[in-house]
Amino acid sequence: MNEHESPFATADAVARNLIPLLFAIGFVVLGTLPYQIPLLGPVFPAMTLVVVYFWSIYRPELLPPAAVFLLGFFQDVLSGAPLGLSSFVLLLVHWVVVHQRRVFIGKAFWISWAGFGLVAIGAAFVSWSIASIFHGTFVAPGAIFTQLLLTIAIYPGISWVFSAAEKIIPHHE
């Protein structure tokens, strides 16, 4: 990077670097709006999972652990879920994916989709277990299962948008 950049170029670069975080926050807010679609409420896809998975593979430096934590926190606050639940699960996902990112980079799309499926299943199981322990009862797993399927189903669309966005973010290497 050239250090004689104009302030505008710097601001532009900063704004582009914020894209993943803005996507993430936007998705949390969108997920909270009252859509009057029957039965959608409890099974609204876990968009933050897609956000954390995608950016942890392709540009982990843009979504550091602190950002992941804040994202999960924000989601729990709005949804009314036990505080710390989403942060914990998303951080775990971030950790696992950052360590395995070489498996996905430069590979066919279906490999990252399959990887997402596995991660989503793991995340659903962990969050269901934590919620069950937290409430001291067996939480009905039906909604979580439907949410899981929906989340896996929307992954291709969202990751396509992210791929397009990723191209306009400057590389630091």
Partner 1 sequence: MRATGDRVERFTLPFKVVGQRVTLIFLLVLSAAFLIIGKANPPLMEGLRTSVIAATAPVLEVLSRPVSTLNYLVTESRDLFSLHEENLRLKEENARLLQWQTVARRLEQETSEFRELLNIKEDPKSNFNSARVIGDTGGPFVHTLLMNAGHKDGVRKGQAVVNGKGLVGRVVATGTSSSRVLLLTDLNSRIPVLVEQSRYRAALTGDNTEYPQLSFLPLNGKVAPGDRIITSGHGGLLPPGLPIGVVRSVEGDDIRIQPFVERDRVEFVSAINFDRPHPFDEEIKTPAVKPVVAPDETPAEAPAVKQEGTP
- The site for partner 1 (CB under 8 A) is made up of 29-44, 64-66, 68-69, 72-74, 77-85, 87-88, 91-92, 94-95, 127-128, 130-131, 134-135, 137, 139-140, 142-144, 146-147
Three-point CA angle 69, 14, 167, nearest 5°: 90
Of the two residues 131 and 165, which places its CB atom closer to partner 1 in the complex?
131
Of the two residues 143 and 165, which places its CB atom closer to partner 1 in the complex?
143
Q: 70-94: buried (b, 16+ CB within 10 Å) or exposed (e) per residue?
A: ebbbbbbeeeebeeebbbbbbbbbb
Of the two residues 130 and 169, which places its CB atom closer to partner 1 in the complex?
130
Q: Minimal distance in Å, beta carbon 72 to partner 1? A: 7
Q: How many CA atoms lie within 13 A of 162 on its CB side?
A: 26
Could you give the C-alpha distances from 51 to 39, 56, 127, in angstroms and in order? 24, 8, 17
Of the two residues 147 and 159, which places its CB atom closer to partner 1 in the complex?
147
Q: Minimal distance in Å, beta carbon 76 to partner 1? A: 8
Q: Minimal distance in Å, beta carbon 106 to partner 1? A: 22
Could you give the C-alpha distances from 63 to 11, 55, 121, in angstroms and in order? 18, 7, 22
Q: Minimal distance in Å, beta carbon 167 to partner 1? A: 24
